[in-house]
Amino acid sequence: MWQCQVPSAKTGHWTSSGHTLRNTVSSSPAAGQGGWQKAGLDSGVLLLGWLFGTIIYPIIYIFPAYAANGAPVIFGGGRPLDMGRKLRGKRVFGDHKTIRGTVSGAVCGVLAGAIEAPFFPYMLAIAVALTAGAIFGDLFGSFMKRRMGHNPGAQVPVLDQYGFFIFAMLAAFPLGHLPDLYGIVFIIILTGALHVLTNMGAHRLRLKEVPW
């Protein structure tokens, strides 16, 4: 699991605490050895550690999946991935899922991981898993919508917002280095909010036919 190193307020040494930052101060702030100034510094370090573990690292972790899911909106178009084929009288995916969009999603997702890899060496492998899961989840969502009789672009709550996210997380789970529980809750909320905002923006820019 990913380790966050934080200084012990009592000993001054660095301690490994995983995702959870534990305050090791056992004495009052005014009980010598630094007093209130030392306590303030320790609190600042703990706050920075919390911000990194709960907000910054989760964004870094999930970013390849976001890149893979968002790239087809910008770079998509062209020939449909299913080549117009039907399954029991209904399109497999529909015209909105294209070869170019799928390839661009794969490239952008892995590229995002390559950018992160110098700082987090394990992220390249995780990015590949996140990207594959995100693309599969998006295609699975389109496949299910066609089976339910929905046209391309039709809104299906939860499936639209979180289909790619769920499969991305499932694909990357065996590789470890997951955010902690608070971080996962944060990216669940962030994913829903970004889905609304980015789709509205893409619609205004005429990159999408519908604002969802």
58 pLDDT exceeds 80?
yes
Q: How much is the average pLDDT of 143-167? A: 87
**How much of the chain, in percent, has pLDDT values that exceed 70?**
78
Q: How much is the average pLDDT of 138-162? A: 87
Confidence of residue 167 (pLDDT cuts 50, 70, 90): very high
Q: Which amino acid would we find at residue 85?
A: R
17 pLDDT exceeds 80?
no
Q: What is the pLDDT of residue 169?
A: 98
Domain ranges of the chain: 66-204
For residue range 88-126, list pLDDT tens digits in order.
889 999 999 999 999 999 999 999 999 999 999 999 999
Q: What is the pLDDT of residue 44?
A: 79
Helical H segments across the chain, by residue range: 35-51, 57-75, 99-116, 123-147, 159-172, 181-204
Mean pLDDT of the chain: 83
Which three-class secondary structure string do you get for 8-57? CCCCCCEEECCCCCCCCCCCCCCCCCCHHHHHHHHHHHHHHHHHHHHHHH
211 pLDDT exceeds 90?
no
152: helix, coil or strand? coil
d(C-alpha 64, C-alpha 70), whole Å: 10
**How much of the chain, in percent, has pLDDT values that exceed 90?**
55
Q: What is the pLDDT of residue 40?
A: 67
Query: Phi/psi at 80 (nearest 5 deg)?
Result: -65, 150
CA angle 72, 191, 194 (to 5 degrees): 70
d(C-alpha 13, C-alpha 198), whole Å: 44
